[in-house]
Chain A
Amino acid sequence: MDLAYFHLIDRITDLDIGEKTIAVEAQVPRQSTIFEGHFPGYPLMPGVLLIESMAQASGWLLIALMKFERMPFLAAVKEAKMRRFVTPGELLSVTASLVHDGSGYAVTQAKVSVDGKPRCNATITFGVAAFPNADLRGHMEAMAKRIGFPQQMIAHD
């Protein structure tokens, strides 16, 4: 996890195209300026960042299902529940599954757990569109390589 660059997930541990599911790992850093403010003397991983981690895991699932030809953009978060605190240094398991594949949008359900126990979950809607430019596509390909996205799933023109 690199909070400064909004990299909320570290590694894809499972990607099942048939089942339309993904699992990723995300190591919450022990130190971050974010924890100096949230909260002084009682550092907690902000809920909005946990939601972002679920969105990023879901996003990689959608990119895989769309054969790396389109990009998901966060559109709505529903039923987001923060069940237990997440603290610095914890290793998160983030899972997501496709709930609905619409025309120009998709809906996932995602969950964060630690040691098998749920910490938060949400239903997330994404708009999906063509990559707006080559820079973003290139960045996403580089990111894909970094997090262990199966390289054979990346379509090339």
Chain B
Amino acid sequence: MSSTFDRVATIIAETCDIPRDTITPESHAIDDLGIDSLDFLDIAFAIDKAFGIKLPLEKWTQEVNDGKATTEQYFVLKNLSARIDELVAAKGA
């Protein structure tokens, strides 16, 4: 079974028409891949469906706005993938 990162990268490539080979675990979805907030809704929808979770986008956004977190913590893809794994694990717990 492909890794969470691979699945997320494929979703981003297909959703945003970004070449798959340009997407790495170190890519920042916003700063490096240029994904805007509207595109990210599509990605969130695809991730929610693919993993059976609900990405807490509002909570993350609030934390970034409040200075309690950085965008890197949530939108660098290796970190996003780790968050997804946590949410999947929490769902199964």
Which positions in A face B, CB cutoff 8 Å?
A: 75-76, 100-105, 107, 125, 127
Tell me which residues across on chain B come within 8 A of A101, comparing CB atoms: 54
Q: Is the CB of B45 within 8 A of A107?
A: yes
Which positions in B face A, CB cutoff 8 Å?
A: 38, 41-42, 44-45, 48-49, 54-59, 61
Q: Is the CB of B58 within 8 A of A103?
A: yes
Cα(A76)–Cα(B40), bound, Å? 11
4 closest pairs, A vs B, by CB? Answer: A104-B58, A103-B57, A103-B58, A105-B41
Tell me which residues across on chain A come within 8 A of B44, comparing CB atoms: 102-103, 105
Cα(A110)–Cα(B58), bound, Å? 25
Of A75, A76, A102, A127, the contact of B54 (CB 8 Å cutoff): A102
Complex: chain B residue closest to A126, CB-CB:
B41
Q: Could you jot down 22 A-B contacts, CB within 8 Å?
A: A75-B38, A75-B41, A76-B42, A100-B45, A101-B54, A102-B41, A102-B44, A102-B45, A102-B48, A102-B54, A102-B57, A103-B55, A103-B56, A103-B58, A104-B57, A105-B41, A105-B44, A105-B45, A105-B57, A107-B45, A125-B45, A127-B41
Q: Within the complex, what minimum Cβ distance (angstroms) separates B15 from chain A?
A: 11
Q: Within the complex, what minimum Cβ distance (angstroms) separates B6 from chain A?
A: 22
Cα(A45)–Cα(B56), bound, Å? 39
Q: Within the complex, what minimum Cβ distance (angstroms) separates A101 from chain B?
A: 8
Tell me which residues across on chain B come within 8 A of A102, comparing CB atoms: 41, 44-45, 48, 54-55, 57
Tell me which residues across on chain A come within 8 A of B38, comparing CB atoms: 75-76
Q: Within the complex, what minimum Cβ distance (angstroms) separates A90 from chain B?
A: 33
